[in-house]
Amino acid sequence: MKITIGLSEKQQKGSIDVLNTLLADEYVLYTKTRNYHWNVTGPHFIELHKFFEAQYDEIDKIIDDVAERARSLGGKSLGTLKDFLNTTRLKESPTDVQSADKMIANLLADHEAIIVALRKDLATCSDTYNDMGTSDFLTGTMEQHEKMAWMLRSFLA
């Protein structure tokens, strides 16, 4: 069924591509955060175990919202690990044992990378694709990442 929302098919596809790239980034970050939740050790284990859980729960909500935004524009959402790894702008975490501080620093770097990418993506959706709805959605997502980054940064201070 044709979607008639004031955007051309090309504009819709452009925004959907932006959203699917973000979806891949979010899924890689979610997986890394969950991995750290399982594998953190040290004197702050309980606190960080709970903290990482709260963060991956937040990212899980973002993942669902991003996928549903792409679907609302008439697109398909990525849904396989292979697709996520082929599309993400982030790197997976090394499998070797890392200190809690290194885990936090890695997550902080990923949140900051997503924030930088979102600043460009929301401008692209607005200026190139005339999709103010997706631009607004990406602004809210960016704000969520800014808050999570602030919390991670506070652990390292």
Confidence grade of residue 3 (pLDDT, cut at 50, 70, 90): confident
Domain ranges of the chain: 9-89+96-156
CATH T-level topology, domain 9-89+96-156: Ferritin (1.20.1260)
Average of per-residue pLDDT values in the chain? 95
Query: What is the value of pTM for the model shown?
Result: 0.95
Concatenated DSSP letters of 8-62: -HHHHHHHHHHHHHHHHHHHHHHHHHHHHHHH--STTHHHHHHHHHHHHHHHHHH
Q: How do residues 10-33 score in pLDDT, each as one tens digit?
A: 999 999 999 999 999 999 999 999
Q: How do residues 83-102 score in pLDDT, each as one tens digit?
A: 999 999 999 877 776 899 99
Q: CA 26, CA 67: separation in Å to the nearest integer? A: 10
